[in-house]
């Protein structure tokens, strides 16, 4: 009995085993699940590049107020990411970069479509979507800025006449991204933005207006209505394995 009792005494009491400090151990699956959970807290970000023509005598104030009202209306009715970006106002056209959630960007396009169809005096015309980037990792802008290109620049050569569409697009994206990085480095949070003197501070980073107007007239790019219709249209793909010949017949 004594030997048996000694053997029993060597076994730890259940409560003692619970009091022993346990090192938390995770696994790769838990790590991935936690990472995905944190990512889903925020909506995915998209970026869209727009160009459009302006009616005569359109003021910066009118365009800025229009988009401010659109952003506020969308934010009140729908939860989503805030809108950041840059609106360059040329004498007769605009270049607009917008960053937000997919749903917010679609609602901005829908508001334009509504004005285009129902408002004959609307000052933004012939809008085209140049590029849409889905699920962007980071924003190029910390706020939404409006900048007027006051001084029209005279160009000796029209590059759109000597370059292919692909070359024009490459120049378009290169210049806009370089300008975006410049603004990101120089403009501080809660400031008024880059101002209306970009044509003096960084003239080499500004696209000629002739490129913007060239893209507005290009048939290779979609207008917002066609883009929205194509996006919402169900996609039906017939696989080769689904095609049977001869066609089945009913008896």
User: What is the band of 1 on the pLDDT scale with cuts at 50, 70, 90?
Assistant: low
Residue 118 has pLDDT above 50, yes or no: yes
- The tokens describing 202, both together, are 């960084």
The set of residues, in sequence order, having a beta carbon less than 8 Å from that of 4 and lying 6+ positions away, is: none
Q: Which is more confidently placed, 216 or 190?
A: 216
Least confident of 73-77, 82-86, 175-179: 73-77
Location of structure tokens 């210049």: 175
pTM over 0.85, yes/no: no
Q: Is the separation of the CB atoms in 153 and 115 below 8 Å?
A: no
User: What is the band of 245 on the pLDDT scale with cuts at 50, 70, 90?
Assistant: low
Q: Is the separation of the CB atoms in 198 and 90 below 8 Å?
A: no
Q: Where are the domains of the chain?
A: 42-227
Architecture of the domain made up of 42-227: 2-Layer Sandwich (3.30)
């Amino acid at each position: 009995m004594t030997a048996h009792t000694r053997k029993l005494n060597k076994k730890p009491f259940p409560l003692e085993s619970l009091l022993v400090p346990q090192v938390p151990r995770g696994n790769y699956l838990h790590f991935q699940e936690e990472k995905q959970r944190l990512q889903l807290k925020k909506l995915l970000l998209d970026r869209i590049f727009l160009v459009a023509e302006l009616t005569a005598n359109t003021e910066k104030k009118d365009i800025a107020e229009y988009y401010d009202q659109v952003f506020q209306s969308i934010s009140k009715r729908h939860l989503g990411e805030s809108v950041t970006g840059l609106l360059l106002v040329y004498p007769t056209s605009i270049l607009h970069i917008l960053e937000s959630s997919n749903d917010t960007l679609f609602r901005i396009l829908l508001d334009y479509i509504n004005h285009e169809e129902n408002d004959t005096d609307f000052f933004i015309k012939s809008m085209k979507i140049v590029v849409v980037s889905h699920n962007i990792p980071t924003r190029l802008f910390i706020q939404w800025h409006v900048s007027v290109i006051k001084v029209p620049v005279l160009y000796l050569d029209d590059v759109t006449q000597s370059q292919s569409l692909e070359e024009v697009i490459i120049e378009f994206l290169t210049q806009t991204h370089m300008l975006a990085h410049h603004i990101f480095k120089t403009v501080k949070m809660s400031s008024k933005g880059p101002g209306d003197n970009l044509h003096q501070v960084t003239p080499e980073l500004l696209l000629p207006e002739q490129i913007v107007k060239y893209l507005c007239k290009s048939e290779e790019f979609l207008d917002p209505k066609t883009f929205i219709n194509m996006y919402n249209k169900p996609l039906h793909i017939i696989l080769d394995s689904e095609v049977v010949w001869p066609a089945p017949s009913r008896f």
